[in-house]
Amino acid sequence: MDGGQYNPRTVEEVFRDYKGRRAGMIRALTTDVEDFYQQCDPDKENLCLYGYPNEHWEVTLPAEEVPPELPEPALGINFARDGMQEKDWLSLVAVHSDAWLVAVSFYFGARFGFDKADRKRLFGMINELPTVYEVVNGKNKVRTSGTNNHSNNKSKSNSKVITPARAEHIRQYKCPSCSSSSSNKRVRGS
């Protein structure tokens, strides 16, 4: 489906390629999720999710040529499917999809000799779009600067409920009972 003959050469062409592939992967993980889920049968061989410049997607085996013409997506996405919650599995595939999309874009950049300014411009264009992960998880809204870091950190440290969104921003987690026992130890030891 990809043809292997398509070679974007300019920053704009590589970005268009990125957007098309990204759109296909987003479609697989959102609109076409039931079809995608069925195609990722764990009883099949190591499967990959491919996004194509024409906004289509495909679940298939990786290319047999070594080395492959383009970087390959994560291999074996189907094996984790039944061992995880569907939402967690889709998030995992989305993260790997984001990594693959950037790898393909920077592969084209390296192949056609993008200099530092071109790479920076390409990354800036890519970074303006929400990631596949953000779209799949409904986090594709632009963050407002209306939140105050001070109050944000205070609410995190006072809260005993750890949501997935909060967990992403915690460097080292201690459960509430461990936190209170370690603070009790400090008080007793003083």
| Model-wide pTM > 0.85 | no
Residue with tokens 């189907």: 78
List the structure tokens of 110. Answer: 């390296």
How many CB atoms lie under 10 A from the CB of residue 159?
11
Per-residue pLDDT in tens (0 to 9) along the chain, 190 residues: 444 456 899 999 999 999 999 999 999 999 999 999 999 999 999 999 999 999 999 999 998 888 888 999 999 999 989 889 999 999 999 999 999 999 999 999 999 999 999 999 999 999 999 999 999 999 875 443 444 444 344 333 344 456 555 555 555 655 655 655 444 444 444 4
Contact 90, 82 (CB under 8 A): no
What residue spans define the domains of the chain? 11-136, 159-189
Which 8-state DSSP code applies to residue 51? E
- Preceding amide of 176 cis, omega within 30: no
